[in-house]
Amino acid sequence: MLQAMNTGHEGSMTTVHANTARDAISRLETMVLMAGFDLPVRAIREQIASALHLILQVTRLPDGRRVITSLTEVQGMEGDIILLQDVFKYESIPNAEKKHAGELVATGLRPKFVDKLIEQGVEVPAAAFRAPRRPQAPAPSRRSAGKAPKARDIAEKERLR
């Protein structure tokens, strides 16, 4: 698979069962090693870093739905490490019905693959990668400064998460 993806033919896709993008990279390394190829780990990692551009993580939520929870760019190698950068991450949104809700939000980093899209005539607005603005928490009042939160308040905040 890695050899086919590194031949210059754009558009390959494959599935790896893993819990995170980093875990997917580790599992690919393990598969290559288990296949009996006598390659050094660095060479395997270079093949992976060269072959993969994006890792799309799909996760099954407790309610059974599958959602995209991250889009991670493979940025190359630094030393012996494959560099990964999240472009979009799933964020849960608490709701009153206790249903699992959320959205895929930008991390605020412009991925390197945008240049390849532009070369192909695909325009992606810069705003697509802008991280959403989060409302700032109000500053603590002087009256509550120095007081420890009550267990009931902590439990309520955790329940709403």
* Global pTM exceeds 0.95: no
Tally of structural domains, the chain? 1
Helical axes 21-34 vs 41-51, angle rounded to 10°:
130
Q: How many CB atoms lie within 10 A of CB 77?
A: 15
What's 87's domain CATH number? 3.40.50.300
- For 59, the domain range is 2-135
123: in domain: yes
Residue 66 belongs to some domain of the structure: yes
> In this structure, what is the dihedral angle of CA atoms 89, 113, 127, 22, given to the nearest 10 degrees?
10
Q: Which residues pair with residue 74 across a beta bridge?
A: 84
Assess if residue 141 is contained within a domain. no
- Asked if residue 77 belongs to a domain, the reply is yes
pLDDT in tens, 96-139: 776 778 889 999 999 998 998 899 899 989 899 998 877 666 65
Q: What pLDDT digit, counting tens, does each position of 16-60 carry?
A: 999 999 999 999 999 888 888 788 999 999 999 988 999 999 999
Report d(CA 1, CA 37) in Å as an integer. Answer: 13
